[in-house]
Structures are given as C-alpha cells and as structure tokens.
Structure 1
Amino acid sequence: MAGRAASTARRARLGAELRKLRERAGMTTTQAAGLLGTSSGQLSNIEVARFGVSADRVRVAAHAYSCTDQALIDALVAMTGDRKRGWWEEYREILPPKLLDLAEIEHHGTALHAAYSMHIPGLLQTVDHAREIYRQAVPELSPPEIEHRVSYRVKRQEVLYRTHPAPYRAVLHEAALRMTFGGPDVVRGQLQHLLRMSELPHATIRVIPFAATRYPGSGQSVYYVRGPVPALDTAQLDQLHGPVFIDAEAQLAQYRLLLERLDDTALNVERSRELIHKVVQCR
C-alpha cells in the first residue's frame, strides 16, 4: 500500500471510484478488506484519500468487485502513477483548496467544455478582466488576495497552450459579451482576446444570441471536464462559497445533455465571430 501523503483531487476521485465499485458489489469495508488482504480501516483511508493506493491493489480490487469495464480499470490504474507536484501546489497555503482541485482536474482533462450565461470563462479571461471580477468578489478580497487569484487564473490558462492541449469548447450567451466589467477599454480588450482565442485550432467559441428563441437550462452555467472514460468526467459549478464538483453518473448525464442542447442552440463559429466583432465595434 502507498503511504500517507497530501490528498489531491485526483487521489480523492480514485478513492471515491473504488468506493463506488465496492458498493455496487454489495460489500462492506470489512468484507472487501478481507478479500484485499488489508484492514477495514486501511481500506476506508484509501476510499477517503488519506492513503494512496498502488496500481496492483487497484487491479485486485476491481477483480474482487467483479468490475469488467477494462477501460475504467485502466484509467483508475493510471491515476495511481502520477505523483508529481503540479504547479497549483505553489498556491496550497494561499488559495482555497477547491481552486487547486479545479486546476488539477482541468490539467488531467481530455476535453474541456464551458457554458456561461453572464461571464467569460476563466480560461478565456484577460488579466484586466479577471482582476475586475475579483475586485467585485463577495466577501471582499484584499489587494494581495486579488493578485494571487489573478496569477492563479493566468497559470490555469496554460492548459490551452501546452504541446498537446485538450480540445476546448465554450458556449457563451450574448449577455456575457455585453457586460461592462472594468469599463470600455477592459471590455474591448476582452472581446478582442476572445476573437484571438477563437482562432486556436483546438478552441471553439460559439455564442447564443439574444434573438435565440430558446435557452436550455435557463441560464445554468457549467464547466465540464471529460476524463479518459465518461465515468471519470467532472462537472464544475460556480457558487458563492467556491467551486462545486459533481461526479455522480446520473447528474453527469444530465449536464452532458444540457451542453449538447446549448451547442444546438448556439450560432455556428463564423456567425459567432461576426457577433463578437459587432459587439467590439459598439465599444
């Protein structure tokens, strides 16, 4: 068994998935521990991410739990091997842990899909736009806290510029384009940045116009990170107290359907770019 180490989003998800497999097999921790040659306490510590777990132990557990989904097993095994510290660890004592979890989940995502109604997604924000957003945070952030969060947001954006970036899709409502955070200069710079980002080969930015006759989800914003298999996807929602992560299969299916319907509602890429250009010209 791997030793105790700081819990991470990836380790927490691995433990949670092993717990799901055990529960689907109808086993208690005591029953499962007997099959795995460990104690119920140690198994519980793995499932709540206090302890790491080896690749071999994951394979043994999958067999004991009668899991036949080889793609899922392989993905879980792969999650045991990456123990390098990510860049987000620099912020471990500075920012809320949930923000670090978001960066880690995003870093390992195989595809990224954002749908926002009133805001520009974090990965597409300029420094000036991000700073203005954080200045309006509730509760109020101190100037150093604002700068730490802006720095963190910029570091997150590197996921779009790495050697093999994951495909990125964003669906924005026209309302997000017309918000005036920071004043005309900031808004103009943000919209021009959106146009530049839309030219990246792996990025797709589309807009739902005010003229659309429907808006699935009634304005629900969601950031969806795909994993190596659908069972390891994550949906992230913004709340006043911080990010909320969803990994229950039934809920993930609902958010996938929502994103599909938003895609169907949005303008195509070229018409979306035309609309963004039009809004820029109004600034």
Structure 2
Amino acid sequence: MRTSPTGRQLRFGSELRKLRERAGLTATQAGRLLGVQQNQISNMEAGRVGVSPARLRALAVHYGCTDQGLVAALCDMTADRTRGWWEEYREILPTPLLDLAEVEHHAQHLRTAVTVHVPGLFQTAEHAREVFRQDVPALSPPEVEHRVSFRIKRQAVLHRDRPAPQRAVIHEAALRMQFGGPKVTRQQLEHLLALSELPHVSIHVIPFAAGSFAGSGQSIYYSHGPVPQLDTINLDQSHGPVFLDTEPQLAKYRVLLSRMETIALDREDSRNFIHTIALSL
C-alpha cells in the first residue's frame, strides 16, 4: 500500500470517487459489486492502492459510466507506473512542486496567464533565482539552488520530442518587473523572444493600454488532459501551487483564459512589444 500517493495517483482516485458518487453508490455498495471490502474501495479512491485497467473497466460498468474516452484515459493513467525525474526531489522540495512537474509532463496542452511573473517554464535561471530569493520565509542558498535546478528541469517539456503546445498570456507588468536588475531582465526578455520562435510556443502580451480585464489578479496555469474531465488548474500562491479540478472550476477558468487571450496582442505584435521593452533596458 502506498503511504504517500503522488498527485496523479490522488487525482485518479478522486475520479473513481466521482464516478461512484454519480452512480449514487456508497463505498460499501461498490465493494459488494466488485467483490471486495469497503476499505479496498476507499483505498483505491485515496490513491493508496493501484487499480488494474481490467478492474477499472469493471468499476466503470458497475457505475454505469458510458464515456469510453474517459474510461480509456483513466486506464492509461493507472497503467503508467513509471517514476518521473521529479522523484529525485521527493525529500528536497515540497510535494506540490513535484505534483506540478508531473501534471506538466502528462499534459496534452498547456495554457497560462500571468500578470507579475514570467511563467516558470519560460524563466531563465538568473530570473528564477532572484524570484526565489524573495520568498518568505527566506530560503537558504542551497534551497534556492534546488528550486532553480528543479524549475530548469521542468522546462524539458518545451524541448522533448512531440512537445505539448504552450500558449501563454503575459501582462506588460510582468515584462517590466526587473528581477535581478536591467541586465537579467533584458536576458529574460531575449529568452522569451527565442522561445516564441518555437512552433509549439505561442506568447501573447496584454499591454497596460488594454485596461482592466477579468482574471487580472491571478496567475492561472491550465493543463489540458487527454479528456476535458482530466484537465487541471494550478493557481500559483505564495504558499505553493493550489490545484483545482472540479467541473465548475474548470469551466470558470477556461472562460477567464479565453477572455484574456482575446484582448492580448497577436504573436507578431507581442514579439515586437517584448523587443521594444528589451531595447529600452
């Protein structure tokens, strides 16, 4: 039995629980249908024990789930037993950071919208280092370097074979925040320009002139799963990532992102905008 399920394992269990509750069954009733004890169902839904694809399909039948796309996606989740590179940080960094890397690794499409910070996947090491130096309570120099190395390793998703599309909306305020001073900021902006040349990376700027807009007070990170029900939202908070995945939450943040994307500049105008700011430093 797992003592510390990963975020992906917890999410899988949560989806099992949602299926059971939609069927109007208690854990005891579900156990009887499957021929196991109630605690076995509870452990499955808590991510503490693995579930074979065959048992998952049996549960789906008992729960009356006819969404074959969702069932197939859940089967893929439970069949994947590989350990990701982020596990080497298991005793070093907070668990939510590892869960974030796991979500990114499996995402089909990533969308983000930020107002003050450059998205983590797009940060240079120097920029990230300065961001982490501002943490409260203060991180020790080794803790800062662990976070920087982890953030840079996360960026491998941008350069692997068949990378997931990335669409980022960045407010002008984030481009003008001089983390580390003008030199580091200029290097960061040049890095953004280089990334924007990648065919799967789309960067869009919201200038100050756009005025107010919905979602302006948040940093939103939306990971698309293989089916919409398995999408994940990450809100970047001062105490660490917060993950949301209920249907109303997913619907709300899809709308917010779409509205922000609508008022942002197109790719070419955004590149020119970033280039102009970099030249001014």
Q: Shift in Å at residue 5 of structure 1?
A: 6.7
Q: Shift in Å at residue 220 of structure 1?
A: 1.9
Match of 1:116 in 2: 114
Match of 1:189 in 2: 187
Match of 1:238 in 2: 236
Match of 2:52 in 1: 54
* SS state at 1:112 partner: strand
1:169-190 CA distance string (max 9 Å, x none)? 1000000000011001100000
* SS state at 1:238 partner: strand
Unaligned runs of 5+ in 2: none
Alignment of 1:191-230 (within 5 A): 191-230=189-228
Matched-pair identity in %: 62
Number of matched residues?
281
Work out the CA distance in 2 between the residues paired with 1:189 and 1:110.
29
Structure 2 residue 263 is matched with structure 1 residue 265: yes
Match of 2:150 in 1: 152
Q: Report if the CA contact (8 A) 2:108-2:224 is conserved.
A: yes
Q: Report if the CA contact (8 A) 1:5-1:52 is conserved.
A: no
Q: Which amino acid aligns with 1:256?
A: R
Q: Which amino acid aligns with 1:128?
A: E
Alignment of 1:5-44 (within 5 A): 6-44=4-42
Match of 2:79 in 1: 81
1:214-238 CA distance string (max 9 Å, x none)? 4222332100000000000000001
Work out the CA distance in 2 between the residues paired with 1:168 and 1:269.
13
* SS state at 1:119 partner: coil
Match of 2:253 among 246, 250, 255: 255
Work out the CA distance in 2 between the residues paired with 1:117 and 1:258.
13
* SS state at 2:242 partner: strand
Q: Shift in Å at residue 26 of structure 1?
A: 0.5
Match of 1:70 in 2: 68
* SS state at 1:228 partner: coil
Unaligned runs of 5+ in 1: none
Work out the CA distance in 1 between the residues paired with 2:12 and 2:149.
29
Q: Which amino acid aligns with 1:89?
A: E
Work out the CA distance in 2 between the residues paired with 1:72 and 1:241.
32
Q: Shift in Å at residue 261 of structure 1?
A: 0.6
Q: Shift in Å at residue 6 of structure 1?
A: 4.5
Q: Which amino acid aligns with 1:189?
A: Q
Q: Shift in Å at residue 10 of structure 1?
A: 1.4
Q: Report if the CA contact (8 A) 1:223-1:236 is conserved.
A: yes
Q: What is the TM-score when the length of structure 1 is the normalising length?
A: 0.98
Q: Report if the CA contact (8 A) 2:31-2:37 is conserved.
A: yes
Q: What is the TM-score when the length of structure 2 is the normalising length?
A: 0.98
Work out the CA distance in 2 between the residues paired with 1:4 and 1:48.
10
Q: Shift in Å at residue 37 of structure 1?
A: 1.2
Match of 1:168 among 149, 166, 169: 166
Flag as ranges the 4+ runs of structure 1 deviating above 6 A.
Answer: none
Q: Report if the CA contact (8 A) 2:115-2:216 is conserved.
A: no
